[in-house]
Amino acid sequence: MNRTEATDGDALTLFCLPYAGGSAVTYGEWASKLPAWIRVMPLHMPGRGVRHQVPPMHRWPDLLDLLVDDVRPFIARPFAIFGHSMGALVGIELAHALRRRHGAAPFWFGASACRAPSRRERELHWLTCPEPEFLDEVRSLKGMPEELLGNREFMDLVSPFLRADFHLCGSYAYRQRDPLACAMLVLGGKQDNEITDDPEHLAAWARETTGPYEQKAVDAGHFFINTHRDAVIDLVVESLARAFHSHGLSGMPLQRSYA
């Protein structure tokens, strides 16, 4: 199937969520690389992109209200959710919110470079910690060039929503609940030491679903969604196709057939 052979009515919607400090631009080139039967829909976080005038949100209920409203028009048909790092944590909460509020759940979920919800650690100082401490943490993630970290004007612009994102991650409170029933793909970077220092950090994702679970390693660091984008897309498409066929749905090729 090529990209001209699928209509919007045939397409599966894949909601995508970025890492802390990231934006919908993270997935800007995915649409041209995905097969026609997947319609990618990057979700916009407050304080950046088309929502640059929306104040940063550091409370989970506020963020979930915003995102649920975004996706609600598209959940009558099969949909999937993918998130990288913080995006995976937001994604799992979005999935549960949709199931709780609207009785709709993803048939597939992808978590990338993120500790499982049950393995999170509480860190409640990111909104108020001194700037040097905050910058050291951002620097340790190796996702922002040093010239930007040293640019005061740029950091004054991005720090408010970056701190809010860090606070969301640090204030996350895991609670027991019925797991999802969807297929799940979990990706981890072999050189992402904070994730791979304990195998359970990723393996514990298996407890978040009763559906088929698979875990794959990418030979890269934390931001492999940028450095190894095509490899990630391959893994996502192959997993989505298997999940679609396991649900008895037709029209989606098992083999990669896109440029």
Digitized pLDDT (tens) for each residue of the chain, 259 residues in all: 233 344 455 689 999 999 999 999 999 999 999 999 999 999 999 999 999 999 999 999 999 999 999 999 999 999 999 999 999 999 999 999 999 999 999 999 999 999 999 999 999 999 999 988 988 888 888 778 888 888 889 888 889 999 999 999 999 999 999 999 999 999 999 999 889 889 999 999 999 999 999 999 999 999 999 999 999 999 999 999 999 877 655 544 444 433 3
The active-site residue, picked from 85, 239, 246, 257, is 85
Class of domain 12-121+176-246: alpha beta
pLDDT at 8: 52
Structure tokens at 104: 């709709």
Report d(CA 127, CA 144) in Å as an integer.
19
85 is catalytic: yes
pLDDT at 212: 96
4-36: b (≥16 Cβ within 10 Å) or e:
eebeeeebbbbbbbbbbbbbbebbeebeebbbb
Cβ neighbours for 227, distance < 8 A, ≥ 6 positions apart = 220, 221
Could you state, in order of their start, the residue ranges of all structural domains in the chain?
12-121+176-246
